[in-house]
Structure 1
């Protein structure tokens, strides 16, 4: 209880947070939540509660609605967009398909607004059965309570993770009581027990707190019989105890209990109405009173709550199957005006196939999509398929569920639906879509020309037979091209993918065709893509997702400078649409492009946000890519311990999730770490692994990201022949692809490899033109040139390039290389003061991002909307930013002073 009390106290003081209690049934989770809630309320807090219901875990946003229903009248204080998103999620508005995290931000702002007048405690019991959209929103909110006067307390049963399987919230595992504590609890609730009964109860309870409290109650009247009963697991014994109380209730009360156990809302009116339909009698609210007196339920106003979740499950599971089906049927009839809930209850009432119920679920799926809950829509379609006959709509439902899963990035679920759909009846167009998605999700297609030919044939048929066929086929072709980039298919496979994309082209400069070509065959297609790109600008690509695809694909052909405007546009567009999952990917791509473009502070902000958003949305691989960008930046700032920690943790996670294709980025980060530490031999070995086909980290395309570092490390360690070989390959690749980055890296590397009598004009040529758009590498070459001059005792000539290098590194915030430049300047005879601390380096990446937005004149609420934070959290960050910058108000913030990367 102390951990909960501390968290609640911090929340009351304005430093909120969240805690997830885990444990077996009866471990005291519900009691602890109730005690913490009561303690908070006693100190002036407002409590909002919700309980997960197993039978309704698929109704989208049911749990969130249960939690926020008492305060929805406060939604008028939200921005128009947030209010519409929240109400649309609850089916209370006509707006369509709000992004899930627009609902999350609206919920966060609602809680934050409530907390301005009184602290808020959010209590969610049986969280393992909260519907998935609600669970994702609650996780989003929980992670953003650090600056709020609000705490979230959740409880989940062991072995039933649901959406909370791996959300990264702080957890407290509740175990069984020790012998002494168990004896004290039993004595407190049943002091008059004989020694034999007491010992048997302690043995039966096995340290389970709920059993120690509830089992003695079962001994009243017939204690000897209870003690003599055969041994049962604690949970089953408790369920029998609760059922024995229910068995003694009048029949109307038992009917009401069953309906309440099957219901999700706990609404007194609908429970009474459904119970009347179930028994065909004129029941009243009074029928519940015996159940209240028996300690099974509580009624507060119009809300009915079971006193413990085990009571609900015991009542529901003990009912005869026909009786459970009838209870759901009665609820479906009672919920005539609630189409989605009605559809789920009608489905739960089906003993076998029921095409009419399946069609209702399909309508519920469309409604769920309109409410911004695609996962719930896919689940509704899967359930509809189970209710449908093979010669009916089953195949269509499964195919649509698979397409939604594909859009959500859940390839495994999509494959399962497609496999089931193969044996079902499908129309000709549906059969083509089935084959298309099957091939797109079959990883063998990434390597086999035969499978790609099958895909291409289906794509051509779709393009010719359906108005959206070409767009659909290109969308399916995109992951196949990504597979080509990460894998190493035969050239024939690459050619087939590109030819298929070009046949599907919807017009000149089709962004998806360019994206597919760039990823499928970076070496062969780069020049064509770059040529086609001349007439394509971000404004001509309407969809931010396509802007992101094109920007990311341009990074795949090492065209970071050309990718930049597309990535920036996609980040802005995806942010505006609230598409956090894809935004995290776009930010990770933007971070790596910024590193290569010398926009290091912007890279830090993008990588920091990408890591947070990707974890929020369950996209671990993209979070790890962002972490490696942060590790690279930490190395360059001289934060070696943090860089090492990030790299070690990320590599371990990459290997555990089987993402070896990303290990090349880890090698790049390790090599940069070695370079700034002047460990050039280690840097060479790390980068050479990425270009070694026999190494687990091999990835030729990633290998050329660090080709300049590899060549410099080879030169600095006396590997002259290796340096010349790598430079020759770089020259050939740069000439073939026309990649701006590769050309710049070749310009950088040539003077490093050249003999002394030929090096100087190469240094000057690269510094005068070849590296003008690559400030980081230009600063490094200035350092190399200055060092080259100094070591030839041309001390006066060496100082200007060394000074320029030092100033560039300082401006970029790259302390490690800046120190090297200072050391060289001192060796050249110039007195150099230690660098003055840069005030911007005192800010975290998120603080710098907030400061920049505030300097543009945005309000806290507007900043919060952009960064998916509450306005109160933005204000909290600004209160920390001002002292760090030596100012006292936002009016003193100047964008030009905040590092305009």
Structure 2
């Protein structure tokens, strides 16, 4: 039957498939109709996808079926998965269904990806892990996004696998009823959807209107599907049920209100047959139709006079059809509806247990001999158009049919059906546990323990949402209050890890209602602080967390205490709790029974007291940095600590060491944190070749993993980079975006970096009053842009802006206040800035020696600061009519700025050189001007000799996408080989000092 009233939607899907196939005549080979597309579905070229949204029964599946049929006819491969409500708590169930036809290709994946995907699909050989005991206390939430570790590594593996499959034939991935997918599968498919723009892959997703799904944010083109027009609805009804009496036809059109499923299913209640027939329009038929539609004589009105929702009316119609089936067929259909698998064999095996000579105790279905429950038992359900059989599977014709049948069955029957399925699934412990739980009305510690093991398995596979659901159900079945409360707290901790704040808050509230000891109450309160590093919380929480850490440590729980104290220290970075709170954090840290060089302890001290304890922190960092690369999480801790104490060169190196390990482990929740620190410190050092791609990737991954303030920080760094390159308009736009994220919550590091970017942009445009106003906010303790550790990092910029704006007296006061701090704090950034400031502000008789002293300092790792000193000294010499001496310094500055890509500063050096009587060649556009940050990252890795596959593994892309990017990069840089690429990029490396 043709699809009525869907011409535009069919045309858009035809375009998607034609673009994927690379042909414009798809409709001539069984396509979807006239091409032309929809404005809101355009732009789908050689990949991409579409998200079809609409209410139940609106025809989403029919559109997908047409698209899949056309794709197959055009020679494309089609892989399909369908979300099933019963599978929502089974980790990777949807992904398993999608990839099962191509599972043999899993063995061709890189080792780490292969292991991750085999585990996710249940193909691994690892033994099932033991469950955590109910009495085990939560040991502290890990960093936001850590529970996504498995999901992202599985996502990369799935992407690689699909790309390999698509290399042989273009691939259409169909995801139906995405709102019922298990969360792990939905996250993986959203990950894939974001990365197929350059692949011969397209994705079509259907989602019920109003339902949430990670795929909503996956960048798929939106295709909203509404109800049929009156004309199209009439055409469909007449084709489905010709010959209806006019009153019945009118009533059906009114009740269906343009919903295609209603138009095709409700007429069956009139004819008593299927959806075809030639009559059945008499009075009794009309009354039958009214009853099936849920009327009480008023037509579509419930007992209270309110209109019965269409979905409910359809379910009643399906229930009525179900009720006419023979008892064995009803039993089999109930089992099939409750089973999360479409396997006919499983359904028949469980049905045989119910209908055998000795049925399960308590069932209300009749007991009668049934030899193995043959497939013929389902024939009446097929004839009633409730299910379809084929290929060893049983599929309901619509999800509403699947949900209507259990709702119509008595509770005892549902429980016995679940028990029959549990017995059938003895070799599948996770599914067995869920069916046993569904059949259990009261507390049952045995079933709860099975669910504990299911939660442990889900967590091992990186499926936090499935683990949370299993623990929550285990809590319901717990026999002891303590076990119930601790299972709820464990579930809440996992919800925190996966970024589900609403779930975590609900679980913590339930645990409190059960009853908690004082320490457990404190732990419950702390759990919710794992979100966004506590940025949105009151600063008083720092003291509260420090006290909690001390009390837990006193009870001998050192590891949880360290995690809690780390949370308190992080708040000292994002906000300003005051010196008393910082001292309390230090006091608790000092009392922890840990080695002084424990990386976590070093980082906590750095966050709490970046200046007072700077010397001990730097000593610890230098000692521990020798082992960089051994543990990426340790390197991340140390990189963050180095940033706090102004050791930007060390911070950049340690963060760079952390990134590869975090990538390899799939820890995309932690990776943007390391990248953001690397980008921030590299930009300060002038190493834009590193900072540009690091900031871009940090912002992209932070957005993808739900870390808004890390996204804001990385975006603010991008604004700073744009200002340094002389792109003031872009700098302002990015700074505004970062500020929008950070200002409502007062995220101080983001706001400080925003002001730096604005100050640099103003300076490049000669607006020095504005630049001074922007930069001075960073040192104002009453301003939310003031951050304790970072306030001493921008002294050179502040001093120059003040000098040119005529605010020398004001900046001298600021610097005078920092001198005592410099006397006791070894912060490299502070001393680099002060040496510059002393020289440019010094009296004439002292300035030259101070410039010379500043240039004698070891600035090997600080090329931008060294170039800035040369520029300032050259300017000072030229203004004293020492033009010949100035040229050497100005030339050195120009060449360094050009090499670093600091275009705005390079132009200033050129202007000064012209004033000194020397012209400069124009600066040609470099790699950063020609390439996007993403392309620059790929180009750099290719220049290092990495293969496309290796680059893809590092950047979480398929190797074919990498190849597509390189095909774009080569012409932009005027090269034709990787060897040429390396040569060109070497031109833009930092200058030798």
For normalisation by structure 2, the TM-score amounts to: 0.84
> Offset of 1:124 from its aligned partner?
1.0
- 1:255 is matched with 331
Equivalent residue for 2:204, pick from 147, 153, 163: 153
The yes-or-no answer on 1:315 pairing with 2:402 is no
Question: d(CA) in 1 for partners of 2:538 and 2:738?
Answer: 29
**1:65 aligns to 2:96 (yes or no):** yes
1:23 to 39, 54, 57: 54
**2:586 alignment partner, one of 498, 512, 516:** 498
TM-superposition CA deviations, 1:461-485 (whole Å, max 9, x none): 343xxxxx32332122111111122
Change in 2 beyond 3 A, CA 1:224/1:272: same
The aligned residue for residue 521 of structure 1 is 609
CA–CA distance in structure 2, aligned partners of residues 483 and 246 of structure 1: 59
Match of 1:136 in 2: 187
Matched position secondary structure for 1:537? helix
Q: How does 1:239-388 map to 2 (within 5 A)?
A: 239-279=315-355, 280=359, 282=370, 283-388=373-478
Distance 1:312 1:405 in 2: 29
Q: Tell me by how many angstroms 1:630 deviates.
A: 1.6
Following TM superposition, by how much is the alpha carbon of 1:361 offset from its aligned partner in structure 2, in angstroms? 0.2
Q: Distance in 1 between matches of 2:574 and 2:706?
A: 21
User: Structure 1 residues 416, 690: CA separation in 2 closer, same or farther (over 3 Å shift)?
Assistant: farther
User: Quick one: structure 1 residues 700 and 709, their matched pair in 2 at CA, closer, same or farther if it must change by over 3 Å?
Assistant: same
Question: Structure 2: how far apart are the matches of 1:695 and 1:195?
Answer: 74
Map Cα deviations across residues 537-578 of structure 1 (whole Å, 9 max, x no partner). 251684321221121122122221222232122112212212
Residues 900, 989 of structure 2: 8 Å contact kept: no
Distance 2:631 2:498 in 1: 17
1:168-201 C-alpha deviation (Å, 9 max, x unpaired): 5443332333444444444444454454444433
**SS across alignment from 1:393:** helix
Cα displacement string for residues 809-853 of structure 1 (whole angstroms, at most 9, x for unaligned residues): 111112222222223322333222321222453222232322332
Deviating more after overlay: 589-598 vs 256-265: 256-265
Residue pairs, 1:468-867, within 5 angstroms: 469-539=557-627, 542-655=630-743, 659=747, 662-769=750-857, 771-839=859-927, 841-867=929-955
Instruction: Give CA deviations for 1:105-147 in whole Å, capped at 9, x if unaligned.
Output: 1111111111011111111111112111111111111111111
After superposition, where does 1:90-109 map in structure 2 within 5 Å? 90-95=121-126, 99-109=150-160
Please point out which of 548, 553, 557 is paired with 1:460: 553
* Contact in 2 for aligned 1:21/1:156 (Cα 8 Å): yes
Q: Compared with structure 1, are the counterparts of its residues 196 and 439 closer, same or farther at alpha carbon in structure 2 (3 Å cutoff)?
A: closer
**Partners in 2 of 1:264 and 1:12 — Cα distance?**
34
SS of residue in 1 equivalent to 2:793: helix
Give the aligned partner of residue 466 of structure 1. none
Alignment partner of 1:203 out of 251, 254, 258: 254
- Equivalent residue in structure 1 for 2:18, among 9, 31, 34: 9
Closer/same/farther in 2, CA of residues 18 and 671 from structure 1, 3 Å limit: farther
Q: Counterparts in 2 of 1:225-240, with a 5 A limit?
A: 225-227=288-290, 229=295, 230-231=299-300, 232-240=308-316
Aligned residue for 1:213?
Answer: 264
More displaced, 699-708 or 248-257? 699-708
Q: Deviations over 1:447-468 (max 9, x none)?
A: 36873564244233343xxxxx
* Distance (whole Å) between structure 2 residues aligned to residue 441 and residue 264 of structure 1: 33
Once the two structures are superposed, residues 784-818 of structure 1 have per-residue CA deviations (whole angstroms, 9 ceiling, x without a partner) of 33333333443333322222222111111122222
Provide, for residues 834-887 of structure 1, a one-character-per-residue CA deviation record: whole Å limited to 9, x for no partner.
Answer: 212224532222323223323333322222222211121122222222223333
Q: Which has the higher contact order (CA 8 A, sep 6+)?
A: 2
Shift of 1:61: 0.7
Distance in 2 (CA, whole Å) between partners of 1:169 and 1:645 is 26
Unaligned runs of 5+ in 1: 464-468
TM-superposed deviation, 1:603: 0.6
Cα distance in 1 for partners of 2:976, 2:919 equals: 36
By how many angstroms is 1:301 displaced? 0.4
For residues 416 and 224 of structure 1, what CA distance do their matches in structure 2 show?
Answer: 47
Query: Which whole-Å CA distance do the structure 2 matches of 1:847 and 1:122 have between them?
Result: 27
Number of the residue aligned with 1:223: 286
Q: Is the 8 A contact 2:179 2:213 kept in 1?
A: yes
Greater displacement, 446-455 / 338-347: 446-455
The 10-residue stretch of structure 1 (335-344 or 402-411) with the greater mean CA deviation from structure 2: 402-411
The answer on whether the counterparts of 2:269 and 2:288 sit within 8 Å (CA) in structure 1 is no
Residue 445 of structure 1: how far off its partner (Å): 9.1
- Is the Cα–Cα contact under 8 Å of residues 628 and 635 in structure 2 kept in the other structure? no
3-state DSSP of counterpart to 2:123: coil
Partner Cα separation in structure 1 for residue 927 and residue 538 of structure 2: 52
Aligned partners of 2:786, 2:699: CA distance in 1, in Å?
24
Which of 73, 85, 96 is 1:54 aligned to? 85
In terms of fraction of residues, the more helix-rich structure is 1
Q: Is the 8 A contact 1:445 1:452 kept in 2?
A: no
Q: 1:623 to 1:490 in 2, by over 3 A?
A: closer
Tell me the secondary structure at the aligned position of residue 172 of structure 2.
strand
Give, in whole Å, the separation in 1 of the partners of 2:502 and 2:105. Answer: 41
In the superposition, relative to structure 1, how do residues 802 and 202 fare at CA in structure 2: closer, same or farther (>3 Å)? farther
Shift, 1:323, TM fit: 3.0
| Alpha-carbon distance between aligned partners in 2 of 1:356 and 1:148, rounded to the nearest angstrom | 48
Change (3 A) 1:377 1:802: same
Deviation (angstroms), 1:51: 1.3
Q: 1:75 aligns with which of 89, 103, 106?
A: 106
By how many angstroms is 1:400 displaced?
A: 2.8
CA apart distance, 1:278: 3.4
Aligned residues: 893
**In the alignment, what sits opposite 2:544?**
451
- Aligned Cα RMSD in Å? 2.8
Counterpart secondary structure, 2:328: helix
SS at match of 1:522: coil
Give secondary structure in 2 for the equivalent of 1:123.
Answer: strand
- Contact 1:121–1:151 (Cα < 8 Å) also in 2: yes
Secondary structure class of the residue paired with 1:304? strand
Q: Secondary structure of 1:626's partner?
A: helix
Aligned counterparts of 2:160 and 2:620: Cα–Cα separation in 1: 45
Contact 1:538–1:569 (Cα < 8 Å) also in 2: no
Alignment TM-score, normalising by the size of structure 1: 0.93
Label 1:305 to 1:862 Cα distance change in 2 as closer, same or farther (>3 A): same
